[in-house]
Structure 1
């Protein structure tokens, strides 16, 4: 599945390249963005608990701020397909029950995302709305500092599909293809967290991540 997703993303970028010459406005837009990733991370279910977790245990994932790259292909002047490239890193900490305890450390996430976007022309401002799908791919997860003394040797977060809604605006700067862009995405996606002591599953919980992803930056259409 991971190889298929990577091939689709690369393929979409290669497909867009020859089309750029067909439209004087350009069919491809590249965006370089600064992005705030603001997840939730709350527990929605406890499937396995061999250490008697506090009954009121609740968690949250910390925010992260990263550079991102977006590549957009305009099927027509009013409809485009966009994918993003970034990696974000998060800890998961207790907020009640084990307040302040680090349960997951340095979890690195690739939020593979593709959206279809409808564009509107309001003169100098080009707003858009969009919707699509995402696949949250966890590439590295470490046990939190609070779990190691309990004998935890490994922590996993499950890769999951989800949905995303998007809205934003592009502001062209003259006729040379450059512009400014603002973008907001809301994701609905979860994960199952598993803590192991050796080969034994000690804790398994389900979480809603559901992040807001807010971006601003520059664009170039060609």
Structure 2
């Protein structure tokens, strides 16, 4: 009987050990990341054009590298909810029709993003996948240098909802909560660009932004 009781206690201890280790990982994780943002910026339609854009005019948005803060809450060891905080800045240039012309200057964007993530438990290396929603909030945009001589006085980019998918990996560095993080996101969201001459809408175009967002940095979980 004593041997049976000892065996039962040993088995219970072995089962409890992983659970205790998971509990010790903490429910909150902060990540400080360097993030490379690669938007598309292609024109998908021209709604208004009183200027007379050259046939085949096409655009692209510039890439940008920014610091990013990610905050993550673990509902369970496998599931978490994450949000990010950053501001990224882009120009929009013509690549055909008006080749090389700067059309939008210093467009400042806050990509408010929330994702739900599923984590695979592979010891100190934990891959994950996720998906969620985003709201692209344009804080500011200025007329491009090559539009001002044409009489453009104001440029706007519309705020839009979209969705995002992601994949990445968290790598623990010891037992103190520190780690390394690698993350890739693909956004699916557009914007409407408008150029005004005084109060007159001169050009309105629809654009696919759909950026790839690649991040790497350090994490702390507690």
- Is TM-score (shorter-chain normalized) higher than 0.5? yes
Residues 10-34 of structure 1 deviation map (CA, whole Å, 9 limit, x = unaligned)? xxxxxxxxxxxxx422100000000
Name the SS of the counterpart of 1:76 in structure 2.
Answer: coil
Name the SS of the counterpart of 1:56 in structure 2.
Answer: coil
Equivalence for 2:179: 179
My pick for the range that moved more, 69-78 or 119-128, is 119-128
Equivalence for 2:122: 122
Equivalence for 1:31: 31
Equivalence for 2:64: 64
Equivalence for 2:9: none
Q: How far is the alpha carbon of 1:125 from its aligned partner?
A: 1.1
Name the SS of the counterpart of 1:53 in structure 2.
Answer: coil
Q: How far is the alpha carbon of 1:123 from its aligned partner?
A: 2.5
Residues 128-162 of structure 1 deviation map (CA, whole Å, 9 limit, x = unaligned)? 00000000000010000010001000000000000
Equivalence for 1:145: 145
Q: d(CA) in 2 for partners of 1:133 and 1:55?
A: 35
Equivalence for 1:104: 104
Equivalence for 2:3: none
Runs of 4+ in 1 over 2 A off after TM superposition: none
Alignment of 1:50 with 2:70, yes or no, is no
Equivalence for 2:133: 133
Q: d(CA) in 1 for partners of 2:58 and 2:187?
A: 20
Name the SS of the counterpart of 1:152 in structure 2.
Answer: coil
Alignment of 1:91 with 2:91, yes or no, is yes
Q: d(CA) in 1 for partners of 2:213 and 2:169?
A: 15
Tell me the TM-score normalised to structure 2 length: 0.89
Tell me the TM-score normalised to structure 1 length: 0.89
Alignment of 1:75 with 2:90, yes or no, is no
The unaligned stretches of length 5 or more in structure 2 are 1-22
Q: d(CA) in 1 for partners of 2:78 and 2:89?
A: 34
Bigger CA radius of gyration? 2
> What is the CA RMSD across the aligned residues, in angstroms?
0.9
Query: Alignment length, in residue pairs?
Result: 201
